[in-house]
Amino acid sequence: MKRERRLDIASNHQISLLEKYYDVDKEKKEINVKIYYDKASELLDFAVGDVGHEMFNNEVLEKINSITEQFPADYKANVYIVVSDFENYTVETLTEKLIDIIDINNYQIIKGRKINWFIAAMLAFIGFILLVFLGVARQNNLFGEGLQKDVFEEMLDITSWVFVWQAVTVLFLTPSSLSKLGFKIINRVNSINFSDKELNALCKITRDDILENWDSDSKISTLRRATLLISSTIILALGFYQFIDMISNIKYEEGAMIVVFTIAIGSILSLFYILAGLGGLFKYLNKGNFRTISKINSSILGILLVLGFVGTILLQQYQRLASVSISLVFYFIFIISIFWPDRGTRNGTIQKEKQD
């Protein structure tokens, strides 16, 4: 109770401080913010674009962001951009440029997030492969004995986990400043208004107006990209794992023909895994190369996995049943992602992710 009371007092004190400088509506939990500019040209970035095609200045959005950071999390801001002299610019032009820069930032956020996800997946993949190699090295005593073995195994162990930790860092701990800016604009601002020096409201942009063109990053589209990347990376990792596991478990005393046959079959299956995983990553990166071949290859891999699952049961190799079943689960997630159409509709608008 004391903690809640302290939080209450702190929140009330914060609101009382904000009331000195802003118009605060406690019932609606809204704060009206007025930002003054002498000329409309101060809102524009003349370093970008030709004359008459200037972009809205991102510094204005950053200023809005820095102001809303002072507010309690449950309060929303109504921002009023007060311009004394609109010069030759109409309110409609400024409104259009403002929405445009927010949309451009959104596309950059989507692109940056997409690249970060890919980098994180590749770092995790490298870490996984190094851990698999470490397991094989320990199993087959590849690093010899004594101090040399301990040093090399410890180095490989640390290196593999560094890659895994870097993947987590890229994915969760290093959001871009642009992503934070977009998040604050969408989640902390109710509306952005243009006013003249007499404080007459001229135009109002609501949160819904800002979100109107953001369908390209819909939840379905985000889910498709995430499942495609994750499943493709896992399929790729399984391909390398299958090959390494096969090589490390071959019984060379069984005869040359059997060894060659085992290596050939295992290599072919691993190759289908690897090609399928690479095809999924190509699709994730919107690279059209080998897309048709990738779908054919993925279909063949599915047939091989089903045959392997049935063969495992018929041959009563129940120790391999779990690994084959896990591979099938990830394969079905992967195959849904790989055949998921690039186009989608929402609110009657057809969208397509732009090629990076």
Spatial contact of 112 and 181, defined as CB atoms under 8 Å apart: no
Phi, psi (degrees; rounded to nearest 5) at 87: 50, -130
Q: Is 325 left (phi over 0), alpha (psi -120 to 50) or beta?
A: alpha
Per-residue tokens: 23: 């118009």
Q: Where exactly are the structural domains of the chain?
A: 1-115+177-213, 216-356
CA angle 179–185–189, rounded 5-degree value: 155
Tens of each residue's pLDDT in the chain, 356 residues: 555 454 455 577 888 888 888 989 888 889 999 999 999 999 998 877 666 678 888 888 888 888 888 888 888 899 999 999 988 888 999 998 888 888 888 888 878 888 889 999 999 999 999 998 888 888 878 787 888 888 888 999 999 999 999 998 887 776 666 666 666 677 788 889 999 888 888 888 887 777 776 654 566 777 788 888 998 899 899 888 888 877 777 766 666 677 777 778 778 888 888 888 888 888 888 876 666 777 787 888 888 888 777 877 777 766 677 777 877 888 888 888 887 766 543 333 333 333 44
- C-alpha span between 176 and 167 (Å, rounded): 15
Cα–Cα distance for residue pair 267/252, rounded to 1 Å: 16
